[in-house]
Chains A and B, each alone.
Chain A
Amino acid sequence: MKSDIILAGVGGQGILSIAAVVGMAALENHLYIKQAEVHGMSQRGGAVQSHLRISEQEIASDLIPEGRADIIISVEPMESLRYLPWLSENGWLVTNTTPFVNISDYPDMKELLAEIEKIQHHIAINADEIARQVKSVRSSNIVMLGAASPFLDLPYQSLENGIKKIFGRKGDKIVQLNIDALKAGHDFTQAHRN
């Protein structure tokens, strides 16, 4: 069992929280894990990514080689495409469709969605809208994790447990909102996967 995951987004969008939850879930299942993050200057509204690797066997490199990622989880549509060189032939692209526009030359949304449609295995989900529907507007990142959960070799319950551990400090209400967000994302993918 091995999952090589690329997390993508814009600085401040919460991809490290996704990584932290998956990390906890991996630990619960006694898996090896390596997770390379971006700190520093890029966190100021720039493109950020994280390489997250979980495996039954010991992991050598902190970075995923090109063309070997099993899944790209992106909280922003344009950012999902930036890491296509890493996606393996049968890999899944799971992306939010709500754009984060902080640059003047942001591409046309229709063209962007058309590029995402070209990827054979993809899930495009309006995570911001779904987060609103479950009354958890700040949890679009966890909606994305939920949407990707069917493609991760991890028990769904372990992801819930991960949320409890990571968000536990912030109180039961925040935990529940994130668990709801996880489920909403998960249900969307189960209903829409091709």
Chain B
Amino acid sequence: MEKLLLLGAEAIAQGAIDGGMSGIYAYPGTPSTEITEYVQHNKIAVERNIHRQWSANEKTAMEASLGMSYAGKRTMVCMKHVGLNVAADAFINSAITGVNGGLVVTVADDPSMHSSQNEQDSRFYGKFAMIPIFEPANQQEAYDMAYEAFDLSEKLKVPVMIRITTRLSHSRSGVETRPLKTENKLKYPEDPIQFVLLPFNARKRYRGLLNIQSLMEQQSEQSSYNTYYPGRNKSLGIIACGIAYNYLMENYQEGKCSHPILQIGQYPLPFIKVEKIVNECEHVLVLEDGYPFVEEMLRGYLAKDTKIRGRLDGTIPRDGELNPDVVAKALDREVKTGMEIPSIVTNRPPELCAGCSHRDIYNALNETMIEFGKQKVFSDIGCYALGALPPWNSINSCVDMGASITMAKGAADAGVHPSIAVIGDSTFTHSGMTALLDCVYENTPVTVIISDNATTAMTGGQASHATGRLEEICIGLGVKPEHVITLTPLPKYHDEMVKVLREEMLYEGISVIIPRRECIVQSVANSKKQKKVIVEGVAQ
């Protein structure tokens, strides 16, 4: 079979394509973006016309995916961990409705918060929904699990979660592919009210979900991803989940680990295997990237002094991603250290690009706010969140998608004036529109700046649902047309921007200001593409 060099994220995409997927749904979010992007550019996906457009947000993605499953086809929905918070309503209920075509929910967690506001562990969501979870250790398993997850989903008639972390998602390795499966045909659910969660049916469906829990455990017990490796030295047993297994094995390059090891790649936990390693070993070390999910289950609530070691007893740091050195220390293995970083080396945090339109907006905003005072600017998730750092120090919040407008509303309700929101175009259509509607409903005096760069920039320039329709949306939601004002954010228009910002902040109603200029990274990329087209045109 063909061997491809793939990121973990790409391996999942390839596995899903080969597994007969008919549609992928997602909103971009690091470290999950590359799954959908891979499908968008894949030859077979294009030939089969697999659905591969971006969704407005994770909730609409989850629901569209459920709709495709209703129609009998195989489908995947992907998101970053905090995206699952947005999709949670649909996600939890999809376990109650069950599926028709196989439905796989791929969630990429970000321990150490490389590009996120928290390091929540999606395995809790999987357990909450009471569905099986796959957690690959490497790129090959990521491929295989995506390939097989549709079968498991259709067999158990529930969604299946694949949980990965940043490190696997963004690490590349060789992957062997398997034969391409045909897509499912359109087929309605056998029971026409399977997806009707009115209480009478929801109770029935929920009991059904409870009844198949033992079947899920059985699947885990037999799963080749949950492997028990015997060992002579039973002073310590090791349970290694997902990618943690690699960090463990890195510490035994010279030979075999003498401790019994239970490798976990599929949940719910295989009870018999877990019971065996816990019973036969003096202590058990749990290695898992993310929260102490397995460790907490094994410790129980009342036990203060147990044989379980991990993040909760300090054997492993309570937060942050695992690595070979953290695992080596937990095992009392030799840890090398290189030279120290010389003291002259300074931090180099990310910054807004030279020529970025957000820079011009923050310059104008800062000048305007001299008159109105500090700490009145709420912002959001995107490149412009970097406006919190020097030299701008322009914003006072960055919490979750869309929160800028609603927090500005709450602050205005409390008496803050002017109360200002800075949000990007893609974040606005993700979760800002309903927030604006709340402001319209009460005519709350807020000034909303939608910094429109015509793309989803932070994640690498994906299409933005807002492009070309922002004014219409805002007016349609009820903002007065004379207070929907478009600006061009360039240094030469600085004074005009300050003037407009000031006037609208003094206005006792809702204003939407739309500074519009294409993302500089996209602008450069697009002009290169155009140049290429011209050159190729001449050559022909």
Q: Within the complex, what minimum Cβ distance (angstroms) separates A88 from chain B? A: 7
Q: Within the complex, what minimum Cβ distance (angstroms) separates A44 from chain B? A: 4
Nearest 5 interchain pairs by C-beta = A67-B336, A40-B115, A40-B30, A46-B350, A61-B250
Chain A neighbourhood of B173, CB < 8 A: 32-35, 59, 62
Q: Which of B66-74, B178-186, B338-346, B445-453 is the interface stretch?
A: B338-346
**With known contacts A46-B350, A60-B250, A62-B171, A67–B345 Cβ distance under 8 A:** no
Of the candidates B243, B336, B344, B459, the one whose C-beta lies within 8 Å of that of A66 is: B336
Q: Is A107 an interface residue (CB 8 A)?
A: yes
Q: How far is the CA of A39 from the CA of B340 in the complex (A)?
A: 26
Chain B neighbourhood of A84, CB < 8 A: 338-342
Q: How far is the CA of A62 from the CA of B164 in the complex (A)?
A: 14
Q: Is A87 an interface residue (CB 8 A)?
A: yes
Q: Is A85 an interface residue (CB 8 A)?
A: yes
Q: How far is the CA of A86 from the CA of B253 in the complex (A)?
A: 18
B interface residues, tally (CB under 8 Å): 50
Verify A115–B344 contact, CB threshold 8 A.
yes
Q: How far is the CA of A23 from the CA of B325 in the complex (A)?
A: 25
Verify B338–A63 contact, CB threshold 8 A.
no
Chain A neighbourhood of B383, CB < 8 A: 44
Q: How far is the CA of A105 from the CA of B247 in the complex (A)?
A: 36
**With known contacts A39-B34, A40-B115, A84-B342, A65–B328 Cβ distance under 8 A:** yes
Verify A33–B348 contact, CB threshold 8 A.
no
Q: Within the complex, what minimum Cβ distance (angstroms) separates A67 from chain B? A: 3
Of the candidates A10, A35, A66, the one whose C-beta lies within 8 Å of that of B325 is: A66
Q: Is A194 an interface residue (CB 8 A)?
A: no
Known: A10-B348, A36-B172, A37-B171. 19 other contacts (CB 8 A): A11-B350, A27-B3, A27-B5, A32-B174, A40-B458, A44-B352, A60-B250, A60-B253, A61-B247, A61-B323, A63-B323, A65-B328, A78-B344, A78-B346, A85-B338, A85-B339, A85-B340, A103-B347, A107-B344
Verify A37–B172 contact, CB threshold 8 A.
yes
Q: Which residue of B lies closest to A108 (CB)?
A: B344
30 A-B pairs within 8 Å (CB atoms) are namely: A11-B350, A23-B5, A23-B172, A24-B5, A27-B3, A36-B172, A37-B172, A38-B114, A39-B31, A39-B460, A40-B31, A41-B115, A42-B350, A44-B350, A46-B348, A59-B173, A60-B248, A61-B249, A61-B323, A63-B324, A65-B324, A65-B336, A81-B341, A84-B340, A85-B341, A86-B338, A103-B346, A107-B345, A107-B346, A119-B339
Chain A neighbourhood of B337, CB < 8 A: 66-67, 85
Verify B170–A38 contact, CB threshold 8 A.
yes
Q: Is B335 an interface residue (CB 8 A)?
A: yes
Interface-central residue, A19, A37, A61, by most chain B CB under 10 Å = A61
Q: Which residue of B lies closest to A80 (CB)?
A: B345
Q: Is B395 an interface residue (CB 8 A)?
A: no
Q: Is A82 an interface residue (CB 8 A)?
A: yes
Residues 146-180 of B at the A interface (beta carbon under 8 Å): 167-168, 170-174
Residues 311-343 of B at the A interface (beta carbon under 8 Å): 323-325, 328, 335-342
Verify A44–B174 contact, CB threshold 8 A.
no
Chain A neighbourhood of B170, CB < 8 A: 36-39
Q: How far is the CA of A66 from the CA of B326 in the complex (A)?
A: 10
Q: How far is the CA of A32 from the CA of B3 in the complex (A)?
A: 11
Q: Which residue of A lies closest to B346 (CB)?
A: A105
Chain A neighbourhood of B338, CB < 8 A: 66-67, 69, 84-88, 91
Verify A60–B249 contact, CB threshold 8 A.
yes
Chain B neighbourhood of A151, CB < 8 A: none
Q: Which residue of A lies closest to B113 (CB)?
A: A41
Q: Is A102 an interface residue (CB 8 A)?
A: yes
Q: Is B533 an interface residue (CB 8 A)?
A: no
Q: Is A137 an interface residue (CB 8 A)?
A: no
Q: Is B526 an interface residue (CB 8 A)?
A: no
Interface residues of A (CB under 8 A from B): 10-11, 19, 23-24, 27, 32-47, 59-69, 78-79, 81-82, 84-88, 91, 102-103, 105-108, 111-112, 115, 119
Chain A neighbourhood of B347, CB < 8 A: 47, 103
Q: Within the complex, what minimum Cβ distance (angstroms) separates A68 from chain B? A: 6
Interface residues of B (CB under 8 A from A): 3, 5, 7, 30-31, 33-34, 114-115, 167-168, 170-174, 243, 246-250, 253, 323-325, 328, 335-342, 344-353, 383, 386, 458-460
Q: Within the complex, what minimum Cβ distance (angstroms) separates B420 from chain A? A: 23
Of the candidates B246, B325, B345, the one whose C-beta lies within 8 Å of that of A60 is: B246
Chain A neighbourhood of B246, CB < 8 A: 60-62
Verify A63–B167 contact, CB threshold 8 A.
yes
Q: Within the complex, what minimum Cβ distance (angstroms) separates B288 from chain A? A: 15
Of the candidates B325, B344, B349, the one whose C-beta lies within 8 Å of that of A46 is: B349
Verify B30–A81 contact, CB threshold 8 A.
no
Verify B345–A82 contact, CB threshold 8 A.
yes
Q: How far is the CA of A32 from the CA of B342 in the complex (A)?
A: 33
Verify A43–B341 contact, CB threshold 8 A.
no
Q: Within the complex, what minimum Cβ distance (angstroms) separates A51 from chain B? A: 8
Chain A neighbourhood of B353, CB < 8 A: 44-45
Chain A neighbourhood of B168, CB < 8 A: 62
Chain A neighbourhood of B33, CB < 8 A: 39
Chain A neighbourhood of B250, CB < 8 A: 60-61, 65
Interface-central residue, A19, A41, A45, A65, by most chain B CB under 10 Å = A65
Chain B neighbourhood of A66, CB < 8 A: 325, 335-338
Interface-central residue, B173, B248, B338, by most chain A CB under 10 Å = B338
Verify A44–B351 contact, CB threshold 8 A.
yes
Q: How far is the CA of A88 from the CA of B174 in the complex (A)?
A: 26
Q: How far is the CA of A115 from the CA of B342 in the complex (A)?
A: 7
